[in-house]
Copies of this chain bind each other. A is one copy, B any other.
Amino acid sequence: MPSTTPGQRYSSKATEPAVNSSTQRIRDTKYRHVFATHSQTRPSCLSADAEKAPSFVGFRNLMILVLIVSNLRLMIENFRKYGVLICIRCHGYTKQDLLYGAALYLLVPIHLFVAYIIEWLAAQQAKGAVARMKKACEDHDKPEMQALARRSFNSTWRVVAFFHGINATFNLIIATSVVYYNIHHPGIGTLCELHAVIVWLKTCSYAFTNRDLRHALLHPNQSQPLPEIYASCPYPRNINFNNLCYFWWAPTLVYQPVYPRTTHIRWGFVFRRVVEVIGLSIVIWIASAQYAAPLLQNSLDKISILDFVSIVERVMKLSTISLFCWLCGFFALFQSFLNALAEVMKFGDREFYGEWWNVSSIRTYWTTWNKPVTNFMRRHVYSPLVGRGFPPALAQVIVFVISGLLHELLVGVPTHNVIGVAFAGMMFQIPLIALTDALQKLKGIRGKVAGNMIFWISFCLVGQPLAALLYFFAWHAKYGSVSKQFQQSPAMHFFHRR
């Protein structure tokens, strides 16, 4: 038996064998069959007692490859089963859909201009009040001046708020009812509803911001300083047609008299972003038509007989495609489209999203994936509520309720099935936020990874495909083949209420 080497376990003092010696060195060595391959004690690199943790970067590459290969295989399977399902001329829209859609596209922005007129009148009134205040100031009648300002502001605000409310509400009601009753095609309907909601949010922001600017003008002594960036265009100079038109097209939902701007338009940048939008739209269309559509179609009977294992299997299969479409759609809209628009508008602040894919808390997800809406909610809902003394947690719940209503409007109305799944999905975020917040506090890096996994599972792997399945089923329950085939199914009793 060979004797043991003295000293500790795994002493690294032993000399390294000449394993990597050059060819010349091998040729010089006389005894080639005797060199000491094993000259030191050392652990395996995957063992817990290894000196440094091994790198697993190769497995990242492997995961990418396995994902590509498995999905290529599913594409072959899909093609052999269904052939080519993509068809350029097979659209589901009617002439009426297009006409109503075009009409809404042209008419909805009018509400923004109505808001402008309201604000213009309020600005005139404020100008008069300022003149009267100046006069009172010259007369050294300070209490009279303050009372004048308060009265002038409050009475005007009541009138202004009333007309703004009517205007904004009519925007939503008209667009929603036209989409629900007159536009059958869910794609066109979604675009119209989305446009109406965006204009509605812009109108609200325009009204709220100008209210506070007017308040600052009429209460020059009470007021805290306004942001420096607004100094170049003070109220009421910002109430002009060009300023409104800039806000109309700017890629933001938050009104500011002045925005940070870039100095010139890089047309090459715009061109690349537009190509991205077109390319990704085609990719999403192919993925939906060729892969998602047959999958949704052949899951209809599974849902109608409430075969839960099959529903789970369908949701799992659908999750990859819906995730793919979601990621492509996110990039196309938030990176490519909004950046192209911002470039053309010389809009400087391009923070349309944060690194939401790394979030470890669902709360952070909702504040980073869609910055335009987050900014709106923070400035016009959350901060004012907290400022008025609401507990922050309640203010957050209110934000989620509003967000849930808007989501239901955007999904339920164009699909003609206000079944509340989108709203319920938003409400379900609240306990998830509590869960991931608790996880964050509990552990270190593992808590972060667990939080991120919960986000992906709840949102992209379960939430979205399940919601897509339910709205698709509801659509077919109302219009499609299902309602004829499965009139007596248990699921039908739930969905088929019309």
Asked if A226 and B357 sit within 8 Å, CB to CB, the answer is no
Q: Does A488 contact B (CB under 8 A)?
A: no
Task: Say which size band chain A's interface belongs to.
Answer: 35 or more
A113 to B438, CA, bound (A): 65
Q: Which residues of B contact A175 (CB under 8 A)?
A: none
A45 to B77, CA, bound (A): 37
Q: Which residues of B contact A212 (CB under 8 A)?
A: 31-34
Asked if A316 and B260 sit within 8 Å, CB to CB, the answer is no
Q: Which of B57, B246, B338, B460 contacts A2 (CB 8 A)?
A: B246
A22-46 contacts to B, CB under 8 A, are 23, 26-27, 29-46
- Name the residue of chain B whose CB is nearest to the CB of A351: B42
Q: Interface 1/0s, chain A 307-319, versus B by CB < 8 A? A: 0010011001101
For residue A363, give the distance in angstroms from its CB to the closest CB of chain B.
Answer: 13
Q: Which of B2, B47, B54, B64 contacts A261 (CB 8 A)?
A: B2
Q: Which of A150-158, A380-388, A412-420 contacts its partner? A: A380-388
Using A2-B256, A3-B232 as known contacts, say yes or no to A349 and B40 having CB atoms under 8 A apart: yes
Q: Which residues of B contact A453 (CB under 8 A)?
A: 61, 65
Q: Does A354 contact B (CB under 8 A)?
A: yes
Q: Which residues of B contact A38 (CB under 8 A)?
A: 252, 254, 256, 259-260, 347-349, 375
Q: Interface 1/0s, chain A 60-101, versus B by CB < 8 A? A: 111111110110110011001000000000000000000000
A54 to B331, CA, bound (A): 14
- Name the residue of chain B whose CB is nearest to the CB of A245: B1
A: which residues have CB within 8 A of B? Answer: 1-5, 8-10, 14-15, 17, 19, 23, 26-27, 29-47, 54-67, 69-70, 72-73, 76-77, 80, 205, 208-209, 211-213, 215-216, 222-224, 226-230, 232-233, 238, 242-243, 246, 252, 254, 256-264, 309, 312-313, 316-317, 319-320, 323, 331, 334-335, 338-339, 346-359, 375, 378-380, 383-384, 386-387, 389, 392, 449, 452-453, 456-457, 460-461
- Listed A/B pairs (25) with beta-carbon separation below 8 Å: A1-B246, A2-B243, A2-B257, A2-B259, A3-B258, A5-B229, A10-B262, A14-B260, A15-B228, A26-B383, A27-B387, A32-B387, A35-B379, A38-B347, A42-B349, A47-B350, A58-B358, A58-B359, A59-B357, A61-B449, A61-B452, A66-B67, A76-B312, A77-B313, A80-B313
